[in-house]
Chain A
Amino acid sequence: MIPVCRIEDLPEGESVRIEAGDATAPIAVFHTDGAFYAIDDTCSHQDASLSDGWLEGCYVECPLHAALFDLRSGEPTCLPARKPVRTHAVTVVDGMLYVHPAVQTVPGRPVHAAPEEAVA
């Protein structure tokens, strides 16, 4: 899991982009609608950073072409995006926000991840 920031450093309506290392693509973390969400930062349509996007409820709008993504599922809800972005689990421990990057899967070859460590 990757530490993001203290929860007070990510107020409602804000987002942050984290470089998650070589193992996974950059991740965007959002605080909106009373919860935290994490999705792949790069729009599935074209190279744009979703952490720069417009937040409205549980949706983020890509800042380049206005594709809209549901933060809960990663699914696009309008064109031009047609493919989902990956979602990642988020936890808070002692006021600290963590992202658990989803296991990178190869299309058609599901990967069975080892059970994750329980997080308080």
Chain B
Amino acid sequence: MTAVRTVTVVGASLAGLHAARGLRSQGYDGRLVVVGEEHHRPYDRPPLSKEFLTGDGDPGEGLGPLALTDPEDEAELDAEWLLGVRAEALDTAAGELRLAGGRALRTDGVVIATGATPRTLPLPPLDGVHTLRTLDDALRLRAELRAGAERAVVIGAGFIGAEVASSCAALGLDVTVVEAAPLPLVPQLGEEMARVCAGLHARGGATLLCGTGVAGLRGAGRVTGVELTDGRALPADVVVVGVGVRPVTGWLEGSGLALDDGVRCDEGCVTALPNVVAVGDVARLDRPGTARTVRAEHWTSGMLQGDVAARNLLAGSTVERFDALPYFWSDQYGARIQYAGRREPGDTVRILDGDPADGGGFLAVYERDAIPTAALGVDRPRPFMRLRRELARAPQPAGR
């Protein structure tokens, strides 16, 4: 691309930061602006549902161990940080980004890294009801968990829900997890392994209720309980809603960019415009070699896409595609779950090590026609990573 003088990264989290780093490491020496809706510099989110909630001591003013940058790093980035500022519109024809408060920013290139925001349920706004995405969310929840809350109800038994429930249990709360599906995590892990992971709740002393929805909340001003669609009522001092996220694309309505549960990109994070790329939770990429598109909410994808997107933005066309094997991990109830690959319904599961039935760790491989498609490890980090490497090298069944 010729004459790129200003690149604006919209979103100051992991993916946005790595796109900014990617631009600089690939020699971009023009103006670099990072716009972040939160007041914080980039920080790491995975600990927010885990050690940040259970950790001792005062989290203090700064980001502490959550910080993704340090002064030396920020000096290298040489970026202008516009924090606490929401992006409100993108005028691609004029090359202009409009910010809250009426300010407009001229820019030649744009990295869309606005992430995702928690889904909510149609519930009345009562004190004591939380979602967990940002550091400020975690600070509010943390304060309540330490202010004498005794009973927590977590709505949604996905990874965030399970991690929050695990943290609440570790803090000594009485925890119930409510899941609308008959079994949580089936789309991610398949029924057999989902059943094993659902068993971790009992290991941590939490109660998992599946196959029932939430009918409403009890309480005036502050929540006192959760009413279930099956007629039961659960007393609660704190309620955490963890029912997934939706990508933050509302500000791009009218931009002309294709939006479809995320910003549509080619396989190299590039939108229909070569000077606009998208990374992280908000990006929906073409899957190479398939007719599919995929939006990943994984930490590792966010980090790696930044580099690819930066390269393609600077090249002015897609010279590199993002094709890393999906990988995610979750720490809950003292167990470390790691998953890599692309499992699909009908893949079989073979246990390579350990025994899922005895409640300890194990290593499992998913297969189709004897070809490994994915790996799942619980407390088997070393052999898991070996298997992950083999998977990354293995030919995948067509169409994945």
Residues of A within 8 A of B (CB): 46-49, 52-54, 61, 63-66, 79-80, 82
B385: which of A54, A79, A80 is its contact (CB, 8 Å)? A54
The chain B residue with its CB closest to the CB of A55 is B382
The residues of A that contact B303 with a CB separation of less than 8 Å are 79-80
Contacts A46-B46, A47-B51, A82-B73 given; does A64 touch B329 at CB 8 Å:
yes
The 9 closest A-B pairs by CB, nearest first: A63-B381, A52-B381, A52-B382, A63-B385, A54-B385, A63-B382, A64-B329, A80-B303, A54-B386
Q: Is B339 an interface residue (CB 8 A)?
A: no
Q: Given that A46-B44, A65-B300 are contacting pairs, would A53 and B73 also be in contact in the complex, using a CB cutoff of 8 Å?
A: no
Residues of B within 8 A of A (CB): 18, 21, 44, 46-47, 51, 70, 73, 299-300, 303, 329, 336, 338, 381-382, 384-386, 389
Chain B contacts for A53, CB-based, 8 A:
381-382, 385
Q: Which residue of A lies closest to B329 (CB)?
A: A64
Majority DSSP secondary structure for residues of B touching A: helix
- Cα–Cα distance between A48 and B47 once the two chains are bound (Å): 13
Contact B385 A49 (CB under 8 A): no
Q: From A49, A64, A82, name the one whose CB has the most chain B CB atoms within 10 angstroms.
A: A64
User: Considering the chains assembled together, what is the distance between the CA atoms of A49 and B18 in angstroms?
Assistant: 25
CB distance from A60 to the nearest CB of B (A): 11
* Contact partners of A66 in chain B: CB under 8 A: 300, 385
* Complex contacts, A79 vs chain B, CB 8 Å: 18, 21, 303
Residues of chain B contacted by A54 (CB below 8 angstroms): 382, 385-386, 389
CB-CB under 8 A from B329, the residues of chain A are 64
Q: Answer whether A63 and B47 are a contact pair too, CB < 8 Å, given A54-B389, A80-B303, A82-B73.
A: no
Question: In chain B, what residue has the closest Cβ to A79?
Answer: B303
